[in-house]
Amino acid sequence: MRHSLLLSAWPRDAAGRSFLGVVAACVVLVPVLNLLVPASSPLHVSTYVLTLVGKYLCYAMLAVAVDLVWGFCGILSLGHAAFFALGGYAMGMYLMRQIGPRGVYGNPILPDFMVFLNWKELPWFWYGFDSFPFAALMIVAVPAALAFVFGYLAFRSRVTGVYLSIITQALSYALLLAFFRNDMGFGGNNGFTDFKELLGFDLQSDRTRVVLLVITAVALGLSYLACRFIESSRAGRVIRAIRDAESRTRFLGYRVESYKLWVFVFSAAVSGVAGALYVPQVGIINPSEFAPINSIEVVIWVAVGGRGTLHGAALGAILINYAKTYFTGAFPEVWLYALGAIFVLVTVFLPRGVMGLIPQRREAAEPA
């Protein structure tokens, strides 16, 4: 049975297999080039590049989650950055509890920002985050629970289209404003930073960063295969029918709201895991991760890569964020213009995204 599940999830197209091959190459090559190749060699992967690659893989995982709900179910979510950030905050709470007396103020229980704000005791919602299993559960459960409540109310009310997009964006903005408040107990504007270790391993060590990158790459591959399994299953055919003709699918007797709800919840859980892997590699989490512009950028990643392909969404996330890294360093004032231009050009000339070029090239190569 496990063999049949793997076969149904395994991509049959060359692009999907190539994507998994690239992910596998990251698992093998990047650690070797960082740990075994000397820094004097042009092939050496520096700590900076290692962190960038890990961050891009987290973004690719988020893009795959968004593509599942948008590309296959037709739910244009402009709030998935909220689920990403909630997973990141759950991981950040665990990492802050691990600092203990090594913080600036040396308090073994309270994080530094609570001591600075004259908090006398740890808030109840911080209990349990000194345990990694509990934190890991919250990384998945909190985004999934929020998605369930939000999705249940929205889908039951049959909110669709642009109206659903607007309220998902409003949800993200509401969380942004809430987490900016110092009295919320999440660090206010500064958020969480100055992490020391994860499961006893020094987060500043290259070996720890390599392990985190490998875990992220594996999580991306597993998330991709899980989404492929959903897409290729009977339920996947139903959610595609919902995307193409929701009223007709409901008329045929399918419980449309239930299908949309569980896909939305699963996508939120994957986004939370991506956010949790992002935080220890980047070293900070703050309310800016909830910003609506972040969710809009994720949609652009998916559109540029190729909506409804999964691997195209991941490719779009990596390409756009690489461009962002370059432009914000070389020409910071033109990045937003460049992003807008990329989105417009792709929408007009490549409606199927970058991945749409592959079948076009194959058709052009075939004899008439």
| Candidate ranges 47-51, 252-256, 272-276, 362-366; pick with highest mean pLDDT | 272-276
Provide the sign of the torsion angle of the four alpha carbons 192, 196, 200, 201, taken in this order: positive
- E strands, the chain, in order: 192-193, 197-198, 201-202, 284-285
Q: What is the Cα–Cα distance from 84 to 70, expressed in whole angstroms?
A: 16
Quick one: angle between helices 311-330 and 206-232, nearest 10?
140
Q: Is the pLDDT of residue 297 over 60?
A: yes
For residues 267-277, average pLDDT: 95
| Residues in Cβ contact with 120 at an 8 Å cutoff, skipping those fewer than 6 apart | none
- Which of the four pLDDT bands, split at 50, 70 and 90, describes residue 43? confident
Q: What is the Cα–Cα distance from 268 to 271, expressed in whole angstroms?
A: 5
- Which of the four pLDDT bands, split at 50, 70 and 90, describes residue 361? very low
Q: Is the pLDDT of residue 76 over 80?
A: yes
What pLDDT, in 10s, does the model give residues 144-153? 999 999 999 9
CB contact at 8 A, 72 and 308: yes
The reported pLDDT for the residue numbered 366 is 39
Q: What is the Cα–Cα distance from 266 to 113, expressed in whole angstroms?
A: 33
For residues 293-311, average pLDDT: 89
Q: Output the six-digit token pair for 282.
A: 């980047």
Higher pLDDT: 4 or 101? It is 101
Higher pLDDT: 337 or 172? It is 172
CA-closest candidate to residue 89, choices 280, 351, 330, 348: 280
Block residue for tokens 């609506």: 292
CB contact at 8 A, 331 and 350: no
Q: Output the six-digit token pair for 238.
A: 């139903």
Higher pLDDT: 106 or 2? It is 106
CA-closest candidate to residue 206, choices 25, 31, 23, 26: 31
Provide the sign of the torsion angle of the four alpha carbons 183, 188, 193, 194, taken in this order: negative
- Which of the four pLDDT bands, split at 50, 70 and 90, describes residue 337? confident
Q: Is the pLDDT of residue 285 over 70?
A: yes
The reported pLDDT for the residue numbered 9 is 61
The reported pLDDT for the residue numbered 188 is 86
- Which of the four pLDDT bands, split at 50, 70 and 90, describes residue 158? confident
- Which of the four pLDDT bands, split at 50, 70 and 90, describes residue 273? very high
The amino acid sitting at 266 is: F
Average pLDDT, the chain: 86
Q: Find the radius of gyration of the CA atoms of the chain.
A: 21
- Which of the four pLDDT bands, split at 50, 70 and 90, describes residue 11? low
Q: Is the pLDDT of residue 314 over 60?
A: yes
The reported pLDDT for the residue numbered 247 is 87
| pTM value surpassing 0.85 | yes
By the 10 Å C-beta count (0-12 exposed, 13-18 middle, 19+ buried), 70 is classed as buried
The reported pLDDT for the residue numbered 353 is 80
Q: What residues form DSSP beta bridges with 193?
A: 284
Q: Is the pLDDT of residue 27 over 50?
A: yes
| Residues in Cβ contact with 285 at an 8 Å cutoff, skipping those fewer than 6 apart | 85, 88, 89, 91, 92, 191, 192, 193, 275, 278, 279
